[in-house]
Amino acid sequence: MQAMNAVDRAVPGAQLRTLLERLPALAAAIAEGASQREREGTLPFEAFALFRASGLGALRIPADRGGPGGSIEDLVQVVATLAAADSNVAHALRTHYNAIELWTSAPPNADADRQLARVLEGALFGGAFTELGTPRSGTVTTALERQGDRLVLNGSKYYATGTAFSDFASIAVRDEEGRDATVIVPTGREGLHVKDDWDGMGQRLTASGSLEFDGLEIRPDEIVLTSPRSLQRRHASSLRQLYLVAVAAGIVRNVFSDAVHYARHHARPAAHSPASSAAEDHFTQWVLGDLATYTHAVDALIADNARQLDRSAEALRRGAANGDADEEGVQQLVLDGALATAKTQLAVSRIALQAAERLFEAGGASATSRRHNFDRHWRNLRTIFSHNPLLQKARVIGDYHLNGTTKHLEEGKVF
């Protein structure tokens, strides 16, 4: 794949078209051997080299900040296309795109400009925020410590999705005064150890295991204080959830394509079927019709949701640039985005998991053969939809429509 060139940078509209035109070839290259990598546990480093070279890592950087100016609707289509090729690769980029959303939806500042410049040069960002063993998820205890004239970090984080493939790690910490902060450091720095110890049943190659810090030096200009309740963070939280749904959309596309291939090339009609081939069997056609409908519905849902988040992203950027945003109007757009995303995630979880189950109706016991590896779709989807409490989402949606309650939708955590 070719990296962005001078022509791409000079004409932002052409740059965006060029990036998106590279996507089919990139996805096809990443799809090569994806099922085998999953069976053998081989991390997809080569796929990330291809992704870096494509320039798509900079997709969401606005044109007025040197990027291609891709929309969130563009992003979810990129994510779904990559996920149809290899859901691990698409998922492992989630932290990267989340960081860009935060840097571009807030007022410009020196740190954000520095990080965006790195992205434009091809850098990828990973990191970790969660810690194991705390009384409640989301609690941050990892704190900066002073050793002489140096600040260092000791301890560990978990769910460091994608960091093994990244150039920089964004890490949630407490500063010396106990305030919420983020540090961004090169992943190759001494004292930072990326461990491939994620043992989930699905999304096995996302490098979602541990980061360990052993006297990791943190420089003063690498520390940024954070405000977890800002509108930008609430918006980015919704995008993080839609991102997962877009990965699921790609998996459902893969379910459908696997079912078509299996029915055409491997399946046999049942003994009692009057059809001469599985492709002519009415029940096989019924299954494929269902799967085609599922993937169409999921794609439509994520595209509609993306357009909603594009509206809140544009309002946030407009306000950041002008300093005179309609605060109440932006708050409502961000709230609408959170609500839409919760509904989309809940609906797609049900459709997607049903699709992964329905796939096996396209064939008999042979469809369960390990060589086909069809069970990976259900495992991967179930892992993705275990990120957040779906029953809680349904309750919150119902409470909103019955009572107008917005508390959890405004927290900017899991919604």
DSSP 284-327: HHHHHHHHHHHHHHHHHHHHHHHHHHHHHHHHHHHHHHHS---H
The alpha carbon torsion through 75, 80, 82, 84 (nearest 10 deg) reads -170
The alpha carbon torsion through 207, 162, 304, 321 (nearest 10 deg) reads 160
Q: Domains plus CATH for the chain?
A: 12-124 (1.10.540.10), 144-225 (2.40.110.10), 231-411 (1.20.140.10)
pLDDT at residue 339, rounded to an integer: 96
**Which two three-digit tokens encode residue 140?**
């941050």
Give the residue-averaged pLDDT of 378-394.
94
Contacts of residue 51, Cβ cutoff 8 Å, sequence gap at least 6 = 1, 26, 30, 57, 82, 89, 93, 124
CA distance 351 to 293: 10
**Which two three-digit tokens encode residue 370?**
């390990």
Residue 335 three-state SS = helix
**Residues constituting the chain:** 415
pLDDT at residue 324, rounded to an integer: 56
DSSP string, 244-266: HHHHHHHHHHHHHHHHHHHHHHT
pLDDT at residue 328, rounded to an integer: 85
Asked whether the beta carbons of 400 and 339 are under 8 A apart, the reply is yes
pLDDT at residue 1, rounded to an integer: 44
pLDDT at residue 3, rounded to an integer: 46
Within 13 Å of residue 79, how many CA atoms lie on the same side as its CB?
32
pLDDT band at 5 (very low <50, low <70, confident <90, very high): very low
Give the residue-averaged pLDDT of 224-229.
81
Asked whether the beta carbons of 79 and 30 are under 8 A apart, the reply is no
pLDDT at residue 321, rounded to an integer: 64
Comparison of pLDDT for 311 and 11, the residue scoring more: 311
**Which two three-digit tokens encode residue 334?**
């961000």
- For 233-264, write each residue's pLDDT tens digit: 999 999 999 999 999 999 999 999 999 999 99
pLDDT at residue 9, rounded to an integer: 46
The alpha carbon torsion through 206, 124, 180, 234 (nearest 10 deg) reads -80
Asked whether the beta carbons of 182 and 218 are under 8 A apart, the reply is no
- Residue 6 pLDDT more than 50? no
- Residue 369 pLDDT more than 80? yes
pLDDT band at 11 (very low <50, low <70, confident <90, very high): very low
Asked whether the beta carbons of 231 and 334 are under 8 A apart, the reply is yes
- For 297-332, write each residue's pLDDT tens digit: 999 999 999 999 999 999 999 887 666 557 889 999
pLDDT at residue 138, rounded to an integer: 77
Distances (CA, A) of 58 to 85, 93, 157, 242, 262: 20, 12, 26, 19, 37
pTM of the entire structure?
0.94
pLDDT at residue 14, rounded to an integer: 63
- Residue 216 pLDDT more than 90? yes
Asked whether the beta carbons of 96 and 124 are under 8 A apart, the reply is yes
pLDDT at residue 271, rounded to an integer: 72
Asked whether the beta carbons of 95 and 126 are under 8 A apart, the reply is yes
Give the residue-averaged pLDDT of 42-65.
97
